[in-house]
Amino acid sequence: MGSAIEIKAVSKRYGALQALDDVSITVEPGEFFALLGPNGAGKTTLISAMAGLSRPDSGSIQIMGHDVIRDFRAARMSLGVVPQELVFDPFLSVRETLRFQSGYFGLTRNDDWIDELLSKLGLADKANVNLRALSGGMKRRVMVAQALVHRPPVMVLDEPTAGVDVELRQSLWTFVKELNEAGHTIVLTTHYLEEAEALCNRIAMLKRGKLVALESKDKLLQHGKEREVAFKLNGPLPDTLLPRKVREEDGRIVLKLPDIAQLEQVLAALREAGVAVRELNVIEVDLESVFVNMMHGGQV
């Protein structure tokens, strides 16, 4: 079987702005994939291109093997998108919204699935409420349900947890994980890096329209081999170690090591200077620091 998403050399300009610059990404079926990048990096533009909402200037995109422009019907049947902006039709109730959305995808008798979506997303008691009367987080849930009415094999969520409370974030991720385990391919963008870290197996990072990293999460974390180690010492830091010092926080001195293996040398230098170590912590790298590092031009 082919790839779930195949993005080939996609570029897109808005006037003088290069929103996407020769981006190529392949996502395999069943992957849980994160698309990261700062504001304006081009994440939404890339998702719009996958969904046919915008037309790339060059390059091509296939969803489940269907070209999103030439074979748009099959491509769109295979794709569910939760847009970043909170949008809704103020004339309709939740159930009407989902029934109409099913109809646009050619489905008439979809009520069983709609009921399941409503209950999974905690919307069962809101089924007949008008969208206008729902809170923002509830509207977001309806958008997730709308993206799923046609049970697409590929689902893309553009910052689905923005403005959503902790409880919904939890239940949303449980739900999306279930979908993933049931075989759906999931792509998400988020600014909460711990979400990407907890959920995804592969990560792409965009910066000013360019793909700056595309790797499995573990590999990406490994790249951040640089470790920070916090020491509590019973004497002053020897001069030889001063260049390694990055900061001091609550009585502890934080040193930066290009590799954890160099801890040996640091300890040796301390012993030589007659300074004893009273406490030692290795500060774990997380995606966030790798991310921040990369976005500030650091090398992967």
Partner 1 sequence: MQGFLTLFRKELVRFWKVAFQTVAAPVLTALMYQLIFSHVLSRHVEAYPGVSYTAFLIPGLAMMSMAQNAFANSSSSLIQSKITGNIVFLLLPPLTALEFFAAYMLASIVRGMAVGAGVLLVTAWFGLPLPSHPLWVLLFAILGCGVLGTLGVIAGIWAEKFDQLAAFQNFLIMPLTFLSGVFYSINSLPPFWYAVSHANPVFFMIDGFRYGFFGQADVSPWLSLSVVGGSFILLSGLALWLIKSGYKLRH
Instruction: Please identify, among the stretches 20-28, 40-48, 68-76, 285-293, the one whose residues bind Mg ion according to the rule CB under 5 A.
Output: 40-48
**Beta partners for 206?**
211
Find the binder of ligand ATP among 45, 78, 93, 102 (CB under 6 A). 45
Instruction: Please identify, among the stretches 146-154, 177-185, 208-216, 255-263, the one whose residues bind partner 1 according to the rule CB under 8 A.
Output: 146-154
Find the binder of ligand ATP among 4, 32, 44, 205 (CB under 6 A). 44
Coil, helix or strand at residue 4 = coil
Residues sharing a CB contact under 8 Å with residue 278, sequence separation 6 or more, in sequence order: 232, 233, 234
CB of 48 to partner 1, least distance (A): 8
Q: Which residue's CB is nearer to ligand ATP, number 45 or number 110?
A: 45
Q: Which residue's CB is nearer to ligand ATP, number 44 or number 97?
A: 44
Instruction: Please identify, among the stretches 28-36, 82-90, 121-129, 136-144, the one whose residues bind Mg ion according to the rule CB under 5 A.
Output: 82-90
CB of 156 to ligand ATP, least distance (A): 12
| Contact by Cβ (8 Å): 164, 140 | yes
Residues sharing a CB contact under 8 Å with residue 223, sequence separation 6 or more, in sequence order: 215, 290, 300
Q: Which residue's CB is nearer to ligand ATP, number 37 or number 56?
A: 37
Binding of residue 129 to partner 1 (CB under 8 A): no
Binding of residue 19 to ligand ATP (CB under 6 A): yes
Instruction: Name the binder of 17 from partner 1, Mg ion, ligand ATP, none, CB < 5-8 A by kind.
Output: ligand ATP
Sign (positive or negative) of CA dihedral 286, 85, 32, 34: negative
DSSP state of 121: T
Q: Which residue's CB is nearer to ligand ATP, number 41 or number 149?
A: 41
CB of 114 to partner 1, least distance (A): 14
Residue 210: name the closest of 42, 16, 28, 98 by CA.
42
Binding of residue 17 to ligand ATP (CB under 6 A): yes
Instruction: Name the binder of 91 from Mg ion, ligand ATP, partner 1, none, CB < 5-8 A by kind.
Output: partner 1
Following DSSP, what letter does each residue of 52-99 receive, concatenated? TSS--SEEEEEETTEETTTTHHHHHHTEEEE-SS----TTSBHHHHHH
Residue 142: name the closest of 166, 120, 158, 162 by CA.
120
Instruction: Name the binder of 77 from ligand ATP, partner 1, Mg ion, none, CB < 5-8 A by kind.
Output: partner 1
Find the binder of Mg ion among 23, 44, 83, 149 (CB under 5 A). 44
Instruction: Provide the terminal-to-terminal Cα distance of the chain, rounded to the nearest Å.
Output: 32
Task: Determine phi and psi for 18, rounding to 5 degrees.
Answer: -90, 95
Q: Max Cα separation, the chain?
A: 79
Coil, helix or strand at residue 277 = strand
Instruction: Name the binder of 108 from Mg ion, ligand ATP, partner 1, none, CB < 5-8 A by kind.
Output: partner 1
Binding of residue 45 to Mg ion (CB under 5 A): no
- Interface residues with partner 1 (CB under 8 A) are 48, 51-55, 72-74, 76-77, 79, 81, 83, 85, 87-91, 96, 100-108, 146-147, 150
